Structure 1
């Protein structure tokens, strides 16, 4: 039953259950159980064993600890602790008061979050959680909804990383391109090839532009539009709170994490090669060390300010991140089982053997990659499967659209990842903004789909014209015309 049409059942079940029940853990559990049953031909005993093993493998596999997942879990919990101590010092509210002298509106607060998201492009996990911690006090002050903040975070993490060659994503993709170019005997450096793909990554480009459009034209669907009073965090106000009580620990977190990423990458690469360092960096260990040292700085300032309550804020911080950690663990278990059930293999193979008009191939690859990332909850996994397939199909049908097809795969993977409730980046964006995960998924979905439809039109244009400049211009015209029409439509309804 693996690798067949039955492999679509688990992701479809998860998506339908999420939409109907809005209960993420329950929905993912259905996907986990159905995947295990399909893998073991409905044998309940073997399926139950597979479920238990999938959770065990999150932290212990093949006789060794899965330190990456352990480090990330520890980082998330410690980030909650760091946030709690910063709030206890009054740093969160003090930063909001300080920043409000320069930022005078909700649009300005959202723009700050956008700028931070673009600047912090090294890693999507690091981006999502760091931007949330810095921007949330200010967006709260101007009553910007947590859902809108989560959308900004999510739309400036993966889309920025996927078009940045100096990021963990860029290093991973360039590594895949090296193999693909060698296989097809393409005499182009992978780094140069990556740069040539960027203009064809329509979803990433127009997602970033659409964030600005939603900010300045007040395009906020559903719950994203309103800031509920009940959502406002109860912070401990102190007269001694300073903006530096937030900025210094977060600054230490950023500096130490980036330094550790460089050191671990340098050690693993064995040479002072920037791209090799990025490809080999240990992001999870770097995040953990950064969090530990940042907490040490926060505790020093906390103690010096005269505070003596330590246990309560520590447990408050742990508790604040427990939900995100639990969802992430269930999502990881589902991703492992979906990989085993062969959902990605089935989706890619469904179209790979068909005879297509080459002009439509970029759009088709965009759609396939989207569904694969949506179903599996991983854009990186989709890159690994679909980039070689897309390259092979393009070289067979029309080598002139080779670069366009690779851009379509990257774009579709990011779009599907954006829409997936089991995506780790989506989960961490919710955690960074501290909003309900399902609310983030449901409010982001129409905005992501809006950009995706325009991107798909762009790939049709690119496939037909085979011109980068013309396809970009025409897609941009469609984008701005559609955005303006959407603004007018929402204004009439409002």
Structure 2
């Protein structure tokens, strides 16, 4: 059976490489106009400007929209790569918009993501599956020099370098030092003695921490997973259950308790000309919060993890039910044949002789980490996670040295931590690269461009949900999906409001907004190439594909119920 699967995987890969060459040589690119709306203002010197990441950016060389070579008419007429990559234009004699061209290869744009996910499910080897998808996507783009033209440029980007710094050096080093000092085990023992009395209480505390760390994404999964791993292992909670709780209380809760960076990011993508309740940044942020009651998937996902935490497994699916029974009856935290995304060295402690671990060695760095992340978010609008983990790492090291641990033992623990997360860090790096390639070849653009204005209005929320699910699942990013889908979905929703004369257009727009927001979260959460999926597996010590397959059923159940609720809501009340 293994041989046949490997042969089948090889055939799929070879066929995909042939198709990639065909697409590169013979398939015409379809170019589309992408417009971005910023809150612009006039400086004291009379120049137009906008603020980006706290910096004032001056706008120069503004041209009329009709004369731009990258408006949709010009792109459709030329149907080839334009000479410029962006341009500021003025619409209707007053509206400033930034235009950027993008292209897709039709349904072929989905090929790299399709190959990656298929091979990942077939072989359970995410490293080879991700690399195969990268090769297919690079060939489609005509980039045959994978090292110098594909991998190195992506590694050199600020975002990827920050990911590797955080999750390889800082997180890995911190876990390694905690393992060497026995701090994580001491924390688990303390919690077990005072709060955790079994599987249920361990899972409930994990769920509660997921709610408290409502910043979402990689920050939440890393903080919660790192914190609860030792106490959950001590209570013999299966790794599939823990990774599901950590993953499903990250982005879902961030879209409900949205006192974070999400509204500020999303509001810039949902401007629609002529819509009064989306006119200003304040209006769009208010619109975001007003739509929260319609985030049915996120609400159901958080409730689903609460039920699982209370050992109510009716809606969790067969795999999670079996994992729960296995851990309860045999104390086996992983399924047979599982390949957890952390080494055995990080699953216990290797405390030097004569060194006495203390629970505060875990608590002080953890509280410092959380405090820095929260306070930097309050004062700057962005949680400085690298600062938080860096200070926590240094604090753990200084405490260990002050208590008498030798520098050699400390460095040994640090190195063990790096080894423990290196495979997961490589997987994370490859996931970032394939996400970048998928966005570049326009898979999401192709899917959204297939929508038309003639479909029944009550079908639009579900269609938007399905499309954003596919985009997020294929690219492994919810925020990247927002950048693709919102600028196209919101004008389409408003056009349907106008053409079909809906009685309650603001309600309809809120539901469509929630469908895009939640569909992206669901697709990202279930994707094996998502950073949050990988980190949930890594920090809880779960096999990546066991995590993906086990959470697919409860997440899909919540998504289906949400789709029914959205459809009924707009059909009867919009």
Q: TM-score range by the shorter chain?
A: 0.7 to 0.9
Once residues 292 and 415 of structure 2 are traced to their aligned partners in structure 1, the CA distance between those partners, rounded to angstroms, is 44
1:131 corresponds to: 224
Q: Is the 8 A contact 1:202 1:455 kept in 2?
A: yes
Quick check: which one's helix share is greater? 1
Q: Is the 8 A contact 2:186 2:359 kept in 1?
A: yes
* 1:432-453 superposed Cα distances (whole Å, 9 cap, x missing partner): 2122222211211122111111
1:319 corresponds to: 419
The reply on whether 1:39 has 2:141 as its aligned counterpart is yes
Q: Is the 8 A contact 1:164 1:170 kept in 2?
A: no
User: Which range moves more in the overlay, 360-369 or 385-394?
Assistant: 385-394
Distance 1:137 1:23, change over 3 A: same
Q: Is the 8 A contact 2:185 2:348 kept in 1?
A: no
What secondary structure does 1:427 align onto? Answer: helix
Unaligned residue ranges in structure 2 (runs of 5+): 1-26, 28-103, 335-339, 498-504
Once residues 303 and 360 of structure 1 are traced to their aligned partners in structure 2, the CA distance between those partners, rounded to angstroms, is 62
Once residues 446 and 32 of structure 1 are traced to their aligned partners in structure 2, the CA distance between those partners, rounded to angstroms, is 28
1:483 corresponds to: none
Higher RCO structure, 1 or 2 (CA under 8 Å, sep 6+): 1
User: Which range moves more in the overlay, 407-416 or 296-305?
Assistant: 296-305
1:3 corresponds to: 105
2:365 corresponds to: 249
1:478 corresponds to: none
The reply on whether 1:453 has 2:567 as its aligned counterpart is no
2:96 corresponds to: none
Shift in Å, 1:36: 1.9
The normalised TM-score by structure 1 is 0.83
What secondary structure does 1:162 align onto? Answer: helix
1:363 corresponds to: 462
Q: Select the structure of larger CA radius of gyration.
A: 2
1:54 corresponds to: 150
The reply on whether 1:291 has 2:389 as its aligned counterpart is yes
The reply on whether 1:240 has 2:342 as its aligned counterpart is no
Once residues 436 and 572 of structure 2 are traced to their aligned partners in structure 1, the CA distance between those partners, rounded to angstroms, is 40
* 1:180-213 superposed Cα distances (whole Å, 9 cap, x missing partner): 1556343661221011111111111110001112
Alignment of 1:40-189 (within 5 A): 40=142, 47-49=143-145, 52-60=148-156, 66-76=157-167, 77-100=169-192, 101-177=194-270, 180-181=271-272, 184-186=275-277, 189=283
The normalised TM-score by structure 2 is 0.72
Shift in Å, 1:99: 0.9
* 1:196-254 superposed Cα distances (whole Å, 9 cap, x missing partner): 11111111111000111222244254263234267872213577222111111111111
Once residues 513 and 358 of structure 2 are traced to their aligned partners in structure 1, the CA distance between those partners, rounded to angstroms, is 48
2:33 corresponds to: none
Once residues 524 and 154 of structure 2 are traced to their aligned partners in structure 1, the CA distance between those partners, rounded to angstroms, is 20
Moved runs in structure 1, 4+ residues, more than 4 A? 229-232
- How many equivalent pairs are there? 435
Distance 1:183 1:144, change over 3 A: farther
Q: Is the 8 A contact 1:383 1:409 kept in 2?
A: yes
Alignment of 1:472-491 (within 5 A): none
Shift in Å, 1:425: 1.3
1:274 corresponds to: none
Once residues 545 and 248 of structure 2 are traced to their aligned partners in structure 1, the CA distance between those partners, rounded to angstroms, is 16
Once residues 116 and 158 of structure 2 are traced to their aligned partners in structure 1, the CA distance between those partners, rounded to angstroms, is 28
Q: Is the 8 A contact 2:490 2:512 kept in 1?
A: yes
2:54 corresponds to: none
Distance 1:355 1:438, change over 3 A: same
Once residues 537 and 179 of structure 2 are traced to their aligned partners in structure 1, the CA distance between those partners, rounded to angstroms, is 19
1:347 corresponds to: 447
User: Which range moves more in the overlay, 30-39 or 214-223?
Assistant: 214-223
